[in-house]
Amino acid sequence: MATLGAQKKHKVTIVGSGNWGTTMSKLVAENVKENQALFDQTVQMWVFEEDVTIPKESRHYDPGSETSNKPQKLSQLINTVHENIKYLPGITLPSNVVANPDLVDSVKGSTILIFVLPHQFIPRVCDQLAGHIVPFARAICCTKGVDVSEKGIRLMSEAIGMRLGIYCGALSGANIASEIAQEKYSETTVAYDPPPMDSRAPTPKGSPTSSTVDLISPGKPSADGKRTAQLKALPSDYPPLSHDNVKKLFHRPYFHVRIVDDVVGVSLGGALKNIIALAAGFVDGLGWGDNAKAAVMRVGILEMVKFGKAFFGDSSHTSTFTEESCGVADVITSCMGGRNFKCAKKAVAEGLSINEIEQRDLNGQKLQGTSTAYEVNAFLKSKGVEKDYPLFTVVYNILEGKLKPEDIPDQIEPK
């Protein structure tokens, strides 16, 4: 038995409480209840605190109650009504989800950290967490984005792992949160390839046997080319974080998990599809129809695969993009019903900027495609290869106002 001898249980914190973060807390909280030998029964969810007023259409709105008409702390409201009325309205959360506005307190004692923040907030949040986490904690990044700096490009899982000195895997797929929160069937891909010492399987010849190993970026040296931290072994009184046990944390009857080792492919698929979804929204906003959308999706998928090969080498597997939920399937769902797609479409149809639509329509939810288009463009420019990625580049130029959505066909035509 995998857990024989283990007396302690893994405690889980969800770092983030937006639309996907709250959905993730729901499904993880359901799973810890079903796996009591492995996991602590309370799931902490860190809430970026804000004041909210219960909207009149909410089932929690009571016209006779004084509190209904006054702004309240979002975290307190979640713990009272067991619903995130701002970011996931209408969905009841299990009572073992505890909303916590104190970031450091929310991760106290947690051996599993699930990051689900918009990617722009990850570096600052990790810097606030550094030195306050369990040193042998493991993380899974559900955020879709990349971390670009003058040093180069990093996956968000790398950014988290490097900043906190822990192993970080990735979860990504064709996953529109509201559908999963309503328990409508979907698939996801989890990339989890921890050091062999975590699985307690017999150590393969040549593998590290000590209680620490060097923490390196998955598949390639870190952007600064250094091994930056030592990874602490999971103590033997905790259940191993094998693929089986990681799957037990996420897999639900309505949320089917496939586990792979390719952290690069899973992370890049989730990040780059957001640029493709903007392009799909632009052409749909022009009223050009499904053939046009399919054309930008085809070119976008090719650029995604090429990007992985060019900048992450052999650790980026084409099959992850073509065979797993985190690749083509996520491109398709995002280009049909994602927020990036919808906002880009409205921007073109209404003649407004995409930022104006985001502010007006998303009630605090954040698009990831716009900032990713800028970040990827800065990286491509730094490498002098903008022209090799015409779809990513035209999306950036449209956002910048240098080109129009009508220019997409000419721009993506091979020259």
Ligand X SMILES: NC(=O)c1ccc[n+]([C@@H]2O[C@H](COP(=O)([O-])OP(=O)(O)OC[C@H]3O[C@@H](n4cnc5c(N)ncnc54)[C@H](O)[C@@H]3O)[C@@H](O)[C@H]2O)c1
Q: Which residues are annotated as a binding site?
A: 16-21, 48, 121, 144, 177, 339-340, 366, 368
Among 28, 45, 48, 375, contact with ligand X (rule: CB under 6 A): 48
DSSP H or E stretch at residue 266: helix 263-285
In the complex with ligand G3P, which residue's Cβ is closer, 100 or 325? 325
Minimum gap (Å) between residue 406 Cβ and ligand X: 28
Q: Which of 38, 341, 302 is nearest to 176 (CA)?
A: 341
Catalytic residue among 273, 342, 345, 346: 273
DSSP H or E stretch at residue 19: helix 19-34
Specify whether the CB–CB gap between 271 and 145 falls below 8 A: yes
Q: Is 346 a catalytic residue?
A: no
Q: Residue positions in the annotated binding site for substrate?
A: 144, 339-340
Among 31, 44, 267, 368, contact with ligand X (rule: CB under 6 A): 368
Binding flag, residue 175, ligand X (CB under 6 A): yes
3-state secondary structure of 112: strand
DSSP state of 224: T
Q: Residue positions in the annotated binding site for NAD(+)?
A: 16-21, 48, 121, 177, 339, 366, 368
In the complex with ligand X, which residue's Cβ is closer, 48 or 321? 48
Among 6, 12, 17, 146, contact with ligand X (rule: CB under 6 A): 17
3-state secondary structure of 184: coil
Within 314-353, the residues that bind ligand X by CB under 6 A are none
Q: Where are the beta strands (DSSP E) in 36-110?
A: 39-46, 51-52, 72-73, 97-100
Residues of the shown chain interacting with ligand G3P in the complex, contacts defined by CB under 6 A: 144, 174-176, 274, 277, 330, 333-334, 338-340, 368
Give the residue nearest to ligand G3P (CB): 338
In the complex with ligand G3P, which residue's Cβ is closer, 158 or 330? 330
Q: Which of 133, 140, 175, 134 is nearest to 157 (CA)?
A: 140
Tokens 């910048």 correspond to: 400
Q: Vertex 154, ends 307 and 263: CA angle to 5°?
A: 75
Binding flag, residue 118, ligand X (CB under 6 A): yes
d(CA 289, CA 292): 6
118's contact among ligand X, ligand G3P, none, with CB below 5 to 8 A by partner kind, is ligand X
Q: Where are the beta strands (DSSP E) in 167-228?
A: 167-172, 186-191, 212-215
Give the residue nearest to ligand X (CB): 18
d(CA 303, CA 269): 11
Instruction: Provide the pairing of β-strand 255-260 with 186-191.
Output: parallel
Among 79, 212, 365, 397, contact with ligand X (rule: CB under 6 A): 365
Binding flag, residue 116, ligand X (CB under 6 A): yes
Q: Note the residues at the interface with ligand X (CB under 6 A).
A: 16-21, 48, 87, 116-119, 121, 125, 142-145, 175-177, 364-366, 368
| Residue positions annotated with a catalytic role | 273
